[in-house]
């Protein structure tokens, strides 16, 4: 995970802010998959989070939250692309079980929408 963020930071210097803004969805897709894998958040964990209405953001260690906030601070632009549908598409190839859970379980889909709102509020409080 740390290696991924280091590569993103290097890219910030190479490509410049305009390119980073246009790459933000792809960068966050990689970041999201990396975080879920690193934190070992799978179908069982998400099903439990849905059942207990646990915030995914709150479950992340503070260090991970700070890294994600730092990256978001470099992206800029509108975070309107960050939706539940986008998240499902972002994880579909590498985490197909989770994607299926969100697509097949109405409670999980509703929980995911709530998580997107929480994540946006933490990363882009002015939006």
pLDDT for 17: 47
Could you tell me which residues come within 8 angstroms of residue 39 by beta carbon, excluding any fewer than 6 positions away? 59, 60, 61, 64
Amino acid 25: pLDDT: 77
Residue 37 domain boundaries: 2-123
- How many domains does the chain divide into? 1
pLDDT in tens, 51-64: 999 999 999 999 98
Q: Whole-model pTM above 0.85?
A: no
Residue spans of the chain under pLDDT 50: 12-21
């Amino acid at each position: 995970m740390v290696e991924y963020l280091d590569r993103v930071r290097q890219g910030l210097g190479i490509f410049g802010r305009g390119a980073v803004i246009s790459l933000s969805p792809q960068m966050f897709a990689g970041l999201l998959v990396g975080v879920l894998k690193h934190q070992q958040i799978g179908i069982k964990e998400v099903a439990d989070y849905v059942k207990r209405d646990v915030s995914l953001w709150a479950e992340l260690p503070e260090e991970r939250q700070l890294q994600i906030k730092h990256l978001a601070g470099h992206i800029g632009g509108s975070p309107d692309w960050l939706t539940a549908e986008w998240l499902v598409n972002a994880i579909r190839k590498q985490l197909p079980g989770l994607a299926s859970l969100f697509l097949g379980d109405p409670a999980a889909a509703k929980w995911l929408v709530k998580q997107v709102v929480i994540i946006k509020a933490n990363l882009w409080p002015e939006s």
